[in-house]
Structure 1
Amino acid sequence: MKRAALPALAVCAMLVTASPAQARPPERSTLTQHRVVSDQGEACGFPVAWTINLTAGLTHFFDADGRLLREQAHIKEDNTVQNLATGKVVTEGPDSFTQTTHFDEAGNPTHYVVTGLAVNAGALKDVGRVVLVRDAEGRLDIAFAAGPHPLREATALGDALSAFCGILA
């Protein structure tokens, strides 16, 4: 009877001490970016400059093997757009949205989920939820949208600045 109890105790001990592989803890960082996106009239028929001032709180999530699964960015922006021909400036922001980027096993982005207020320029709003996927050529296509998304639609067509033409004319 004692001999049969020893293997059972050994198995119980292994079950108690063996733990499943744990995912690497999330990593957090902050990104601050200032950039200008501009053209010489291709988007609107007049030159446009979009000055972007962005701060993002980033969290990277990993699997048990240390592979990046997703990145969640809580983004805040205070921007301006300008008609460079007339000098008209429109405040674009404050914006506040979350962008979650999902990655495949090789670390390549597969799709993006954006939720919140991404453009806030007077009557021009890009707000709600949108899911973007990469096509075979690497361009972003809208797979799902709830709410108006003029910036995302313009970006999918190849020129984000064209979303601002109406408010800058």
Structure 2
Amino acid sequence: MKHAEPQSPVSFVANVARLPQKGLPVVIAADERQRAALAAEYDLLSVESYRAELLVASWKRNGVKVSGRVEADITQACIVTLDPVAAHIDEPVEALFLPEQSKLGREGFESGGEIVLDADGPDSPETFSGDTIDVGALAEQFFGLAIDPYPRKPGASLDAEGDDQPEESEFQKKLRSLLGKS
């Protein structure tokens, strides 16, 4: 039995069976309920705005390319003071999808051919089944990756009370002695 993944608060399922020649534009503007669900899911104090503008287009013979941007204004708790910290997210979205049965997706593995991965290049294509892709969930993934995991209020520091000067490292001591400064 296949378990269904929990649905994204900003889910938008695009039918990719017959895409227009210029692609299918998708705009997702989260309402108050959706923003509250995103805030809860990512441990944020609030999500003031969330908007994804995507283009779902044909790629190669039967693949799909999703590109665009996700923008959001969020408020997180500072990791030092727990005070609110506002942040703006503006993240590009780009992903390739191939049908599960696609020869293109299997070729590299089955023919013994090399698969070259470029750390700075595009991710390898993901697979999908049927004729739909949840592009809203995809945009949410990019939103989640763009959130600062350690938000800090400007000026907040983790220094212990009473420590006016941080401990000098061995490297800093050697550098000071080489420069002739005491």
The two structures share one fold, judged by TM-score above 0.5: no
TM-score by length of 1: 0.40
TM-score (norm 2): 0.38
Higher RCO structure (Cα 8 Å, ≥6 apart): 2
